Amino acid sequence: MTATGRGGLFGGLFDRGAAGAGDEEWLRAMLDTEAALARALERAGRAPTGAGAAVTEAAQPGGFDVGELGRLAASTGNPVPALVRALSAKLPAGAAAAVHQGATSQDILDTAVMLMARRALDAVAADLAAAAAGAAALAEAHRDTIMIGRTLLQQAVPVTFGLVAAGWLTGIDDARRGLARIRGERLAVQFGGAAGTLASLGDDGPRVRALLAEELGLPRPPVPWHTDRLRILELAAALAGVCGAAGKVARDVTLLAQSEVAEVREGEGGPGGLARPGGGGPAEGGAGDARRGGSSAMPHKRNPVAAIVILGCTRRAPGLLATLAACTEQEHQRAAGAWHAEWEPIADLLRLTGSAASWAAGLLAGLEVDADRMRANLDAAGGLPLAESVAAALAPALGRLAAHDLVAEASAAAAASGGDLRGALLGLPERAARLRDAGITAAQIDAALDPAGYLGSAAAFTDEALAAHRSFYA
């Protein structure tokens, strides 16, 4: 996990971590593919001795002008022909003959995507492991920390913050499993030539293809996949799954960090925090204040920056996934337009997923939990979150429906008067008499209103999530 982005106005936000897929990564991956192909051709006897090493030496990203390659791409529909010419120009004739031999532009670009994805998935997996460790630590530390559960954005029944963090943990671990499957099974070399037959290599085609796969360390599928785009779609779906898991954490944090709730806050030393020159705490200033979560207009603000930026990344994932899903319908042996439409969306999705995972790792490592505030918010609800518990306690004596109706009536009265549920049940003579007649004591009501007694299997579920996490990372 790196703390800063690659540059540009928004790089520190949306190009964070080590999973970038910008121009530099594209160029490196294309050159790596061309160099590996030259080595494979030499090993197959189709290029002179030393050609592979010569091409590999020449295929260094620093020797190429990305802007010029981009301008020349307008003439051919993609940047590979210009790259091939530029690379060949750096080589003697014998070695130059090994550049791009047997390949088509799509072979180079598709394989480059696979190489970029492999590098990016490794970076994302590392950040997810750190995020999972943070979530696991929170789940363990707050296994018994009681808070209000919320459903449909309304107060529900008590839960524990440990269970909340365990839910985050499970989502992150599931997302990492999805990435691992793609990393191990669905990234593959692409090498089929003009129409997927490798006709220009004659009988050597299968051997060169196998050697290319070996040089790159990528699996070799049964046939070229020029218009079978399920690999791209499955990669995109796994990345979107990571965004979903990270987005869940971020959305919960933004809600729990609201001023009126204030049950969690991002740590000052988390991702994005800027230190004062020479060390010390966060920098301070006026409109240009670099304090963690500071506002340009409101000095009191402490915004949950990491959670907000995670959501800024993950909200874009569904649209990118939809574009890539639409691109899976491709005609005949090579597509006109659909393949081209994949390049930027898949690169954006790799970059944004990597950024979200990097932010999530820092967010969970530094998240501050206010257990006292959680309990205060629960107590301030006047026992209403325990209405279900009270109804269950009254049901044996009153009957289930009668108990429900009585508690609903008392809950409405408490809400209307600003009182608490206990007072609404025991403070009104008519209700109190009804409870006494049924043999229900104040002690029983108090027991039913104790949130610690109505947590169900929260602790067991938290323990189970932690055990599954330890098993996964063992």
**CA distances in angstroms from 245 to 95, 123, 142, 160, 370, listed in the order given:** 48, 16, 20, 20, 23
Q: Which helix (H) or strand (E) holds 146?
A: strand 146-151
Tokens coding 104: 């088509």
Q: How is residue 186 annotated by DSSP?
A: I
Active-site residue, 334 included: yes
Q: Say if residues 143 and 162 touch (Cβ distance below 8 Å).
A: yes
Q: Please report the beta strands in 61-167, taking only residues with DSSP state E, as ranges in sequence order.
A: 146-151, 154-160
d(CA 103, CA 421): 75
d(CA 52, CA 86): 17
Which residue among the candidates 200, 295, 417, 457 is catalytic per the annotation? 295
Active-site residue, 355 included: no
Which residue among the candidates 220, 302, 334, 375 is catalytic per the annotation? 334
Q: What residues have CB less than 8 Å from 273, skipping those under 6 apart? A: 282, 292
Q: Say if residues 244 and 353 touch (Cβ distance below 8 Å).
A: no
Which residue bears the tokens 């690999």?
Answer: 231
Q: How far is CA 413 from the centre of its chain?
A: 45
Tokens coding 196: 């997927």
d(CA 39, CA 47): 8
Please identify every residue annotated as catalytic.
295, 334
